[in-house]
Amino acid sequence: MRPVDDLTRDYRVAFLAYLPRREEAALHRGYELGRSAVAEGLSILELSLIHHQVFLEILRESPSEELPEVARAASEFFLEVLATFDMTQRGFLEGQETAMSAAGPRPESGITAPRPEVRDGAARGFCAGSR
């Protein structure tokens, strides 16, 4: 089985466990699924697809009067699953910022924009020469 297939199966089981009682332990399982997805190298897009597939399956089986609660629970669960991706991204961005600060100012390229009078004169000369 592929990691995506395993995660889809585990996501379905964990979300169905969370849905009826919305307990913290089941929500924590969602967080652990997010950690597993990051460790497996799955993208946030793949994880979003898995969420939507499972969510649509559950919506089809849910009575219409329960749909608002199912949607709220799905949102809560998905946010918990995404928490690891959010922390990973923040850590990456902070690391980049630290590395850029430690590197000091960037050296000048040596290329400067022409002074306005030179630029405007060159443009007038170009236009005059093309007649």
The tens-digit pLDDT sequence of the chain (131 residues) is: 787 899 999 999 999 999 999 999 999 999 999 999 988 889 999 999 999 999 999 999 999 999 999 999 999 999 999 998 888 878 777 887 887 777 766 666 566 655 666 555 545 554 555 44
Q: How many domains does the structure of the chain reveal? A: 1
Q: Give residue 85's domain range.
A: 3-102
Q: Is residue 127 assigned to a domain?
A: no
Q: Is residue 110 assigned to a domain?
A: no
CA 79, CA 16: separation in Å to the nearest integer? 16
Q: Is residue 30 assigned to a domain?
A: yes
Q: Is residue 36 assigned to a domain?
A: yes
Length of the chain: 131
pLDDT of residue 96: 79
Q: Is residue 122 assigned to a domain?
A: no
CA 85, CA 37: separation in Å to the nearest integer? 9
Look at the block and give the residue holding tokens 């910022």: 97
